Amino acid sequence: MLSGRILKKIFITLLIVSALVLFAACYTGVPLDADAAGNNDSGAAAEIGDKVITIDSSLPLAAQTSAATASAVFNGGGNVDTTSLQNGSVTLNTNLADKGIVGICADMEGGKKLKAKVALDDQAVYYDISPGEMIKVPMQFGNGTYRVELYQNISGSEYAGLYGEDVDISMSDANTPFLYSSEIVDYEDSAVSYPLTAALMQGKGSDGEILAACYDYVTKNITYDYDKINHIDSSYIPDIDEVLNSKKGICYDYAAVMASLLREAGIPAKLMMGYRTDAQEYHAWNQALVDGEWVTVDATWGAVMLQSGQSDEVVKDASLYSADKYF
């Protein structure tokens, strides 16, 4: 008969293996888009587990108030510049540049793949662009002169440069971009995340309590989708409503949902991409600004722990994570 100590070691080993298997399946992509808009309908309801909660119409949602205003400014301001190119044009919208948000639209002919590059010094990210679509990207590296460039696919992984423009960014608060909706943290038109956020905020007196409530909901209500990871490609971007409705997702989805809920609650949140030291595959997690400090949150890991019958802390050890980009 096995001793209690041996059984405990076997259980812990199985738990670690299950977590590593999940992370081995994790997938995250690259593209991005950013803007914010909200819907403050009083009397809306959000499902929390098996309960339905009526939302207090007086509930403060700081991010949503600024979101609606920002959306109007972005769409109605006059800081829009269009440059004609040989086979189309590029439009740059800087109406929200002081908030760290810039819109890029490439209206090109030919049907070839397009990518935008946004760089500050030696930091750069690339975004897939569909012709005629305005993407709103965050200037997440802080203040400075950013370089925005457009590239068109030649063949394989080779892209030819078509356009370049410098954009000066001067924000009064460098955390502003992490309060806006983006292509991978896209809650702008969500019918689910806004009322859910409001319900989760009820009765919470601090950012830490709101973070804990969001983490608790996501880890207990979203399960890892092993089938999904085998049927997506590099163009995949999380659909917040689809994940919340299906209650299934991959690490990229967990991180996008967490960032959406926190940003809607007025808590700056980053979606991080990179690696965890005890897993080999690419991973996604979050950082949240709580009481003036950036803390590390990994809802995927928390969900695995819960599914294995173990409890887990909301805030993770930051030394276990290494990011190569964030949004």
**Band (66; pLDDT cuts 50, 70, 90):** low
Q: What per-residue confidence (pLDDT) applies to 82?
A: 96
Residues 202 and 270 in one domain: yes
Using alpha carbons, select from 265, 212, 199 the residue that is nearest to residue 53: 199
User: Averaged over 12-28, what is the pLDDT?
Assistant: 44
Residues 253 and 197 in one domain: yes
188, 101 contact by CB (below 8 A): no
* Tally of domains within the chain: 2
CA distance 142 to 133: 25
Residue 95 has pLDDT above 70, yes or no: yes
Residue 266 CA to residue 269 CA, distance in Å, equals 9
Q: Answer whether residue 71 is part of any domain.
A: no
Tell me, yes or no, whether 273 and 297 share the same domain: yes
- The domain of 48 spans 27-66+179-326
Q: Is residue 160 part of a domain?
A: yes
**pLDDT bracket for residue 187 (50, 70, 90):** confident
Lookup: tokens for 3: 């001793």
pLDDT band at 280 (very low <50, low <70, confident <90, very high): confident
Taken in order 315, 20, 285, 118, the sign of the CA dihedral is positive
Mean pLDDT of 294-316: 93
User: Which tokens in the block code for residue 181?
Assistant: 């909706």
What pLDDT sits at residue 51?
A: 37
Same domain, 278 and 205: yes
Rounded CA-CA distance 48/200 in Å is 8
In CATH, what number is assigned to the domain containing residue 142?
2.60.40.10
Average pLDDT of the segment spanning 68-72: 73
- Residue 200 in any domain: the answer is yes
Cα 33 from Cα 121, distance rounded (Å) = 21
Q: Count the Cβ atoms, other than its own, within 10 Å of residue 223.
A: 15
What is the average pLDDT value for the chain, to the nearest integer? 81
Tell me the CA distances in angstroms from 251 to 25, 83, 89, one per residue in order.
9, 38, 36
Q: Could you tell me the end-to-end alpha-carbon distance of the chain, in angstroms, rounded to an integer?
A: 52
> Domain for residue 14, yes or no?
no
Does residue 33 fall inside a structural domain? yes
Measured CA to CA, the distance from residue 12 to residue 308 in angstroms comes to 10
- The answer to whether 137 and 130 have CB atoms below 8 angstroms apart is no
Residue in the block written with tokens 């979050």: 286
pLDDT above 50: residue 60: no
Residues whose CB is less than 8 angstroms from the CB of residue 89 and which lie 6 or more positions away in sequence, other chains included: 82, 83, 106, 107, 108
Q: Are residues 61 and 183 in the same domain?
A: yes
In tens, the pLDDT along 123-147 reads: 999 999 999 999 989 999 999 999 9
Mark whether 89 and 149 lie in a shared domain. yes
In this model, does residue 92 exceed pLDDT 80? yes
Q: Is residue 150 part of a domain?
A: yes
Residues 164 and 204 in one domain: no
Higher pLDDT, 191 or 258: 258
Q: Give yes or no: residues 132 and 240 share one domain.
A: no
Are 105 and 220 found together in one domain?
no
In DSSP terms, 153 is beta-bridged to 159
Do 188 and 266 fall within a single domain? yes
Is 302:312 a contact under the CB 8 Å cutoff?
yes
DSSP secondary structure string for all residues of 41-58 = -TT-EEEETTEEEEPPTT
From 142, 173, 204, the end of a domain falls on 173
- pLDDT band of residue 71 (cuts 50, 70, 90) is confident
| pLDDT exceeds 60 at position 11 | no
On whether residue 250 sits in a domain, the answer given is yes
End-of-domain residue from the set 128, 151, 173: 173
Instruction: Give 2-32 as a 3 state SS string.
Output: CCHHHHHHHHHHHHHHHHHHHHHHCCCCCCC
326 phi/psi in degrees, rounded to 5: -150, 155
Which letter does DSSP use for residue 139 in this model? Answer: -
pLDDT: is 96 or 26 the higher one? 96
Which of 125, 153, 173 is a domain's end point? 173
Residue 157 forms part of a structural domain: yes
Q: State the pLDDT confidence band at 67, using cuts at 50, 70 and 90.
A: low
User: What is the predicted pLDDT for the residue at 223?
Assistant: 92
Residues 300 and 248 in one domain: yes
pLDDT tier for residue 156 given thresholds of 50, 70 and 90 = confident
Cα separation, 205 vs 210, whole angstroms: 8
pTM for the model: 0.79
Dist. CA 269–CA 203, nearest whole Å: 21
The answer on 136 and 47 residing in a single domain is no
pLDDT band at 227 (very low <50, low <70, confident <90, very high): confident
pLDDT confidence of residue 263: 92
CATH label of the domain that carries residue 46: 3.10.620
